[in-house]
């Protein structure tokens, strides 16, 4: 299983639909966790999708997940700090000490938008280099950030191949 987390409207469902070979233009916000069967690289997996601001959110350890995908809206700069703080909370409280060498993907979705932040800005705001160092020091996770667009269908193939190679 792969746990997909992120704020509402970040594009979690759209990316999962892309992985399934489908495109759906609009998705209603999911208030309950959703389970999807998808293929990442050569691996068939269950994608467990949920909004990390949901107070009834299932914790990483409860899902038996083997990987974590954090989806952030690259065009929503007013929410970067909040998204980063919640993501760090998930990593530090739920993953650190409970898992070893978990692949952790940060997907900056909606990169096609004119107001989307450049990759270097997102890397800075999300403090990706700190996550990489922390994960390496603890042997807890392997972090990689990708820019992608579920709407345009760009970048996600490389993402899912990277994830599939690490499962």
What would the pLDDT profile of 103-143 be if each residue is shown by its tens digit? Answer: 888 989 899 999 999 999 999 988 888 888 877 776 667 88
Rounded-to-integer distance, Cα 148 and Cα 52, Å: 20
Domain ranges of the chain: 2-165
Right CATH for 2-165 from 3.40.50.300, 3.90.650.10, 2.102.10.10, 3.40.50.1820: 3.40.50.300
- 99 appears as a binding residue in the annotation: no
Task: Determine whether the annotation assigns residue 142 to a binding site.
Answer: no
CB 140 within 8 A of CB 99: yes
Does 161 score more than 90 pLDDT? no
pLDDT in tens, 138-160: 666 788 899 988 888 888 778 77
154 is in an annotated binding site: no
63 is annotated as contributing to ligand binding: no
Specify the pTM.
0.80
| pLDDT tens per residue across span 35-69 | 666 766 666 666 656 666 655 555 666 667 778 88
- Does 12 carry a binding-site annotation? yes
CA distance 68 to 117: 22
DSSP letter at 13 equals H
Position 47 scores a pLDDT of 63
Predicted pLDDT at 120: 93
Q: Is the Cα dihedral 146, 4, 11, 86 positive or negative?
A: negative
Sheet holding 141-147, edge to edge: 34-40, 43-51, 2-6, 67-73, 102-109, 141-147
Average pLDDT of the chain is 76
- Is 110 one of the annotated binding-site residues? yes
According to the model, what pLDDT value does residue 160 have? Answer: 77
Query: Which residues share a beta bridge with 103?
Result: 142
Helix (H) or strand (E) holding 108: strand 102-109
Taking the CA atoms of 154, 117, 78 and 163 in sequence, report the sign of the dihedral they define.
positive
pLDDT of residue 26 exceeding 60, the answer is no
- Residue 162: pLDDT band with limits 50, 70, 90: confident
Res 117: pLDDT: 92
């Amino acid at each position: 299983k792969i746990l997909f987390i992120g704020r509402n409207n970040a594009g979690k469902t759209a990316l999962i639909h892309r992985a399934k070979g489908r495109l759906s233009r609009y998705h209603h916000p999911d208030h309950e966790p959703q389970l999807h069967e998808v293929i990442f690289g050569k691996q068939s997996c269950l994608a467990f999708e949920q909004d990390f601001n949901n107070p009834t959110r299932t914790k990483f350890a409860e899902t038996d997940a083997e990987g974590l995908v954090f989806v952030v809206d690259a065009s929503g700069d007013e929410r970067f700090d909040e998204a980063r703080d919640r993501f760090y909370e998930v990593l530090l409280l739920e993953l650190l000490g409970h898992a070893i060498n978990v692949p952790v993907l940060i997907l900056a979705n909606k990169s096609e938008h004119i107001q989307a932040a450049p990759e270097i800005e997102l890397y800075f705001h999300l403090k990706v280099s700190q996550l990489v160092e922390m994960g390496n020091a603890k042997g807890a996770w392997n972090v990689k950030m990708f820019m992608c667009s579920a709407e345009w269908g760009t970048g996600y193939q490389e993402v899912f191949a990277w994830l599939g190679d690490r499962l």
